[in-house]
Structure formats: C-alpha cells, structure tokens
Amino acid sequence: MTVLDIGRVRLNVERLGDVDRPVVVLVHGLTAGSLASYYFSVAGRLAAAGHCVVMYDQRGHGRSERPHTGYRLEEFTADLVALLDVLGVDRPFSLVGECFGGAVAMDFAARYPHRLTGLALIECPLPTGAWARGLVGLLAQGAELTRDAQAIDRIGREHGRFAARAVRRSRPLLLDTTLLEEVADSRTREEDDWSSLDVPVLALYGGDSTLVGNAPVMERVLPHCRTVVIPGHGHQVLVDARESVGPLLVDWALEGRRRQEGTPTP
C-alpha cells in the first residue's frame, strides 16, 4: 500500500494487476468502510481477469488523512478526480461504488461520463436531496452510538467483535470532523436530473437488505441500468456474497471493455 499526496489530502492507495491493463476503480462506503472491503472480496478476482484494480481509503477513512473539514459529496468526488490525475489514468475505465461510495461514483459519472466504460453500484440508493437528509439522520444515530460503551459491548455480543470494532473505528470521523454538517450540505441531483445519466449501470442489492427497494427505482430512473438482487444476503453483500458478486463484476467490466473496443458482446 502507498500513501499518495493528491494535492487535496493524503490517500492510502492499493493497486493490483498490470498498470497497462484496463482500469477498474473501487470506491468504498462511509464511516467504517475502507479499501479492505474490496481487497478481501472481489479485487483479486478482477485483477486475475486482466484488470488493473485501483482501491483507496477515502478521506477520513482507513489509513488516509482525516482532515477536520471537506466532507461534502462533491469533495469526495474531487478527491477521486485528483487521484486519477496523480495515477495517470487518462483512458476510459470502469468504476465501482459501494453504498456512499456508489454516490461518489454516480456523482463522478454525472460529471465525467466520457471517462467511463461503465458504472457498478453495490447497495446504493439514488443520491438525491432526500437521500442526503436521511443519511445525516443515520450518521447522527451512529455518532450517539459511538458514545455509548454499553451499547457497543451489546453489539459485540449480538453481532460479533468485528461489528463492535467497526463502530469504534467510526468514532473519530463522526465526532471529530464536520462530516454530519457537510453531508447535509452536499450538492445532489433529483430524479429528473439522474434520468439523463448516459452511462451503462449495473446495480447490485442484497435480497434481505433494507435498500433492496431501490432496485426498481434505479431501473425506472436510470436509462441504462440493469439490477441484480442476490437472495439471502443483507447490506454487506459485497463481502458476504463475494462468490456471487465477483463474477458479476468481472463480466460487467468485460462488457465495458467490449463496448469501448467496439467488440460485440456475446
């Protein structure tokens, strides 16, 4: 792993595969997320299929720098743009985003559709103003939870030590930064705006997830969207169902390469 200064913030970055191969960029979710969610699930499979896989800890997460401010959605998108410039990714690539990382990926796609061969979203709602307000409510609940040691211990007993560790790991970001205030102030788009997104989209959801109801919304709103629901899995479908998610992402990335090369898809 390498820490890169992208001019805005220092980001922890990991690359797998030959740098001359078609690029796939993976963007993780908020608070307890990190590039590890991809590293230990689908990144190796994508690299083995002939891609250069780029993963990074978003600002405030993992081993990346945690500034006090700079947490509006568009700031995360600007980090991605700056990272691509530093890495020299100047040809169309595939972009994957999980949960909040999916919102970052969609914001990037809306601004730079010509830079993408395709967009894959995992457990991602449509990032509208209502989404931002709802997310702030969930983050506020999370912030209160991190202050309650007994509640964290209970989570550990009921859901395992890894769940408790994730709550503790999110404490500095939730309590020591302006994340909550700035997410609420993010620049978002409404449904009518998203209906003009001219990028092929694959949207994946766990069948038992509270977000699975977004699947028909994505297909209705986005003009080039295909959704897949994976039964028996919840919000952590990326990790828990990696044997299903991995092949789906490999096939989707290959489809993007064929579109870029003008090769018919079987």
**Residue ranges of domains in the chain:** 2-128+187-261
* 3-class secondary structure, 14: strand
Q: Which of 119, 89, 115, 92 is nearest to 104 (CA)?
A: 119
0.75 exceeded by pTM: yes
What counts of helices (H) and strands (E) characterise the chain?
12, 8
Tokens of 131: 């989404």
- Tell the CATH topology of 2-128+187-261: Rossmann fold (3.40.50)
* 3-class secondary structure, 165: helix
Tokens of 143: 């912030």
Tokens of 41: 């699930």
**pLDDT tens for the 266 residues of the chain, in order:** 799 999 999 999 999 999 999 999 999 999 989 999 999 999 999 999 999 999 999 999 999 999 999 999 999 999 999 999 999 999 999 999 999 999 999 999 999 999 999 999 999 999 999 999 999 999 999 999 888 888 778 877 776 776 777 888 899 999 999 999 999 999 999 999 999 999 999 999 999 999 999 999 999 999 999 999 999 999 999 999 999 999 999 999 999 988 888 765 55
Up-side HSE of residue 129: CA atoms within 13 Å toward CB?
4
Q: At what angle do helices 161-176 and 149-159 cross, to 10 degrees?
A: 150
